[in-house]
Amino acid sequence: MSSTPRVLFVCVKNGGKSQMAAGLMTKVAGDSIDVQSAGTAPGSTINALSAQSLLEVGVDISANTPRAIDPDLLAQMDVVVT
């Protein structure tokens, strides 16, 4: 396991809440934490309102792509937030 803590944020579509949480944690923690996000049934795009809201605090998630959670990803994480 890596010496850098690994955190995974999970929601259903991975287009809003988990992407926002990951973006905010990355802004606060920088490189001290490896932050990921995934969804149980990912959509195809990032929620535009979520992306716009985070831009107001200097976090740009607009280029992110929703992805599915999988056992390999889970096995790499130290903490999973649902």
2 pLDDT band (50/70/90 cuts)?
Answer: low
Residue 1 has pLDDT above 90, yes or no: no
Phi, psi of 22, rounded to the nearest 5 degrees:
-65, -40
| Nearest-10 Cα torsion for 39, 44, 45, 47 | -60
Q: Is residue 31 part of a domain?
A: yes
Number of independent structural domains in the chain: 1
Q: Is residue 34 part of a domain?
A: yes
Q: Is residue 1 part of a domain?
A: no
pLDDT tens track for 35-80: 999 999 999 999 999 999 999 999 999 999 999 999 999 999 999 9
pLDDT tens track for 11-45: 999 999 999 999 999 999 999 999 999 999 999 99
Phi, psi of 77, rounded to the nearest 5 degrees:
-90, 145
